[in-house]
């Protein structure tokens, strides 16, 4: 029977089989519906071969190998190293020796990375575990999250720098794909340090909350503790990693995803030691006077579900969400803060006639703007010229008035001299023309 496929109107072919879905935060349902409404469904007349693409991707992935970086954060003594060794069934962390009482304790949060190449059934994985010794171990834990945030952002910076290189053939992805946050099994609620840490990091890394040493709580206490933790997370709008849902999934897979989601936060017990059970089995677990806690027993703890989500089922989704959402959001903010803006017209399919009309409108607007600016400049020049002419006119008028006044004064003086000449009077008064009569002692008679 002929197989079916869907073809978009621009000629791109898409499979009509089960679609690989994505997390709701990665996909816009409105955009998907609009895209699906523009496809034409056709029938294949025979076998083509693109159904073999998943096998090609599988061979390429196995040949290339995988990279995964996990960060473990939590107070000392919560079993972080033991849980990592248990998760990957290898000794990444050697047994730690407690510091002697006289030994000086570190005063800051340290960042330590351990890398290992592990292989399983021909699949190679380069695993990097980032540890944060010292977190939450001080009397004053203010800003103890800062070194961790700076480390995550420095890894983003390193990846962005590699992307901007001319030669990008050897890009190393050292970004943190998952952060396992260990919560103390107090049985009450999250501490302020826990809330502040998750608030600071939930936009930069996939947070997976874990209740450490869950064998110290009863089943009822674990259930109540989980409810309080989820209530605190919801109240502070903290986003933790949720198992993504896909379209056209079978019921078994959907049930499995729902079961994993129902176990968050995971109440786990870690142990890389093997103990013998009363029925003769050898299991990984912890032996107590009252019985044995089995690590791989789902009725004892959530370790199996944690490993299933982190390693067996959603490791690639963690990498994808880190790259497509967390890193892209950080990259956008980083570039915008540097003044780099994206041209909205790039990669947009536009009708040439509409694009021409748009360019014409923009050109006319530009011409109109230039004309308005030229008119403004012309008017300004005219006003300046008129002001200068007016000032010159006022100066000329003042000089004319001054010269006219001077001429009037000279005319008056000349007329005065003329009258004196005509009347026979001297033009200037005579000096010494009159002599005073001298009188004697008895003069005057």
Q: What's the average model confidence in pLDDT over 11-18? A: 42
CA–CA separation, 118 vs 287, rounded Å?
29
Question: Whole-structure pTM over 0.85, yes or no?
Answer: no
pLDDT score of 171? 84
The Cα–Cα gap between 324 and 259 comes to 26
pLDDT of residue 33: 55
Mean pLDDT score, 383-402: 92
pLDDT band at 329 (very low <50, low <70, confident <90, very high): very high
* Phi, psi of 371, rounded to the nearest 5 degrees: -65, -45
pLDDT surpassing 50 at residue 9 = no
pLDDT of residue 4: 44
The proportion of the chain whose per-residue pLDDT surpasses 90, expressed as a percent, equals 29
Across the range 391-418, mean pLDDT stands at 91
Residue 10 confidence (pLDDT) above 80 = no
Q: Please give the DSSP secondary-structure letter assigned to residue 73.
A: E
Characterize 320-353 residue by residue with b for buried, 16 or more Cβ atoms within 10 angstroms of its Cβ, and e for exposed. bbbeebbbeebeeeeeeeeeeeeeeeeeeeeeee
Q: Can you give the pLDDT at residue 138? A: 74
DSSP character for 232?
H
| Residue 225 pLDDT exceeds 70 | yes
Cβ proximity of 266 and 308 under 8 Å: no
How would residue 350 be classed by pLDDT, with cut points 50, 70 and 90? Answer: low
Maximum mean pLDDT: which of 83-97, 303-317, 416-430: 303-317
In this prediction, residue 103 has a pLDDT band, given cuts at 50, 70 and 90, of: low
What is the overall mean pLDDT for the chain?
81
Contacts of 195 (CB under 8 A, 6+ apart): 232, 236, 238
pLDDT 10s digits, 239-290:
998 877 777 788 888 888 888 888 889 999 888 888 888 888 888 888 888 8
- 44-53, 225-234, 243-252: range with highest mean pLDDT: 225-234
Q: Provide, for the chain, the percentages of residues in helix, strand and coil under a 3-state DSSP scheme, each rounded to the nearest 5.
A: 45, 15, 40
Of 90, 79, 15, the C-alpha closest to 52 is 15
Most confident segment among 27-31, 117-121, 345-349: 117-121
Q: How far is CA 401 from CA 388, 390, 397, in A?
A: 20, 16, 6
pLDDT at 29 over 70: no
* Contact between 239 and 203 (Cβ < 8 Å): yes
CB 200 within 8 A of CB 145: yes
Predicted local distance difference test score (pLDDT) of residue 381? 92
Query: Is the pLDDT assigned to residue 294 strictly greater than 80?
Result: yes
Q: What confidence score (pLDDT) does residue 418 get?
A: 86
The mean-pLDDT minimum among 174-188, 247-261, 361-375, 422-436 falls in 422-436
Q: Please give the structure tokens belonging to residue 312.
A: 């067996």
- Give the side-chain half-sphere CA count within 13 A for 95: 4
Residue predicted with more confidence, 396 or 1 = 396
Q: 218 CB contacts (<8 Å, ≥6 apart)?
A: none
Contact 240, 207 (CB under 8 A): yes
Q: Give me the pLDDT at residue 22, please.
A: 41
DSSP 131-167: E-TTTT-SS--TTTTHHHHHHHHHHHHHHHHHHTSS-
Per-residue confidence at 2, pLDDT binned at 50, 70, 90? very low
Distance of CA 327 to the CA centre of its chain: 7
- Measured CA to CA in angstroms, residue 234 lies from 196, 237, 378, 382 at distances of 14, 5, 64, 68
């Amino acid at each position: 029977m002929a197989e079916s496929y869907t073809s978009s109107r621009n000629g791109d072919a898409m499979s009509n089989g089960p679609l690989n879905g994505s997390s709701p935060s990665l996909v816009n349902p409105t955009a998907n519906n609009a895209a699906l409404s523009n496809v034409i469904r056709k029938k294949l007349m025979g076998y083509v071969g693109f159904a073999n693409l998943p096998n090609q991707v599988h061979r390429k992935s196995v040949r290339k190998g995988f990279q995964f970086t996990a960060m473990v954060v939590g107070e000392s003594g919560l079993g972080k190293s033991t849980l990592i060794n248990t998760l990957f069934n290898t000794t990444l962390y050697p047994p730690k020796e407690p510091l002697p009482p006289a030994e000086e304790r570190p005063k800051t949060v340290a960042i330590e990375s351990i890398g290992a190449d592990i292989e399983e059934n021909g699949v190679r994985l380069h695993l990097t575990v980032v540890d944060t010794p010292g977190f939450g171990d001080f009397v004053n834990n203010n800003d103890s999250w800062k070194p961790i945030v700076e480390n995550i952002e420095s890894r983003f910076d390193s990846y962005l720098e590699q992307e901007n290189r001319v030669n990008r053939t050897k890009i190393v992805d050292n970004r943190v794909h998952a952060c396992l946050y260990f919560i103390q099994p107090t049985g009450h609620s999250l501490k302020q340090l826990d809330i502040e840490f998750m608030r600071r990091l939930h936009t930069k890394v996939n947070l997976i909350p874990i209740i450490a040493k869950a064998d110290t709580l009863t089943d009822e206490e674990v259930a109540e503790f989980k409810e309080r933790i989820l209530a605190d997370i919801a109240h502070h709008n903290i986003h933790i990693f949720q198992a993504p849902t896909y379209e056209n999934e079978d019921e078994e897979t959907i049930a499995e995803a729902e079961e994993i989601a129902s176990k968050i936060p995971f109440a786990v017990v870690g142990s890389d030691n093997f103990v013998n059970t009363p029925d003769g089995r050898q299991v990984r677990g912890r032996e107590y006077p009252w019985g044995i806690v089995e690590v791989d027993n789902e009725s004892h703890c959530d370790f199996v579900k944690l490993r299933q989500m982190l390693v067996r089922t959603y490791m690639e989704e963690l990498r994808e969400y880190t790259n497509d959402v967390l890193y892209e959001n950080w990259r956008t903010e980083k570039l915008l803060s540097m003044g780099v803006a994206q041209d909205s017209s790039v990669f947009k399919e536009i009708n040439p006639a509409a694009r021409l009309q748009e360019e014409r409108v923009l050109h006319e607007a530009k011409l109109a703007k230039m004309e308005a600016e030229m008119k403004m400049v012309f008017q300004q020049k005219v006003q300046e010229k008129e002001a200068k002419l007016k000032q010159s006119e006022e100066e000329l008028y003042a000089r004319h008035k001054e010269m006219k006044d001077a001429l009037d004064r000279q005319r008056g003086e000349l007329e005065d001299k003329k009258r004196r000449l005509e009347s026979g009077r001297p033009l200037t008064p005579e000096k010494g023309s009159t002599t005073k009569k001298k009188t004697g002692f008895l003069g005057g008679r």
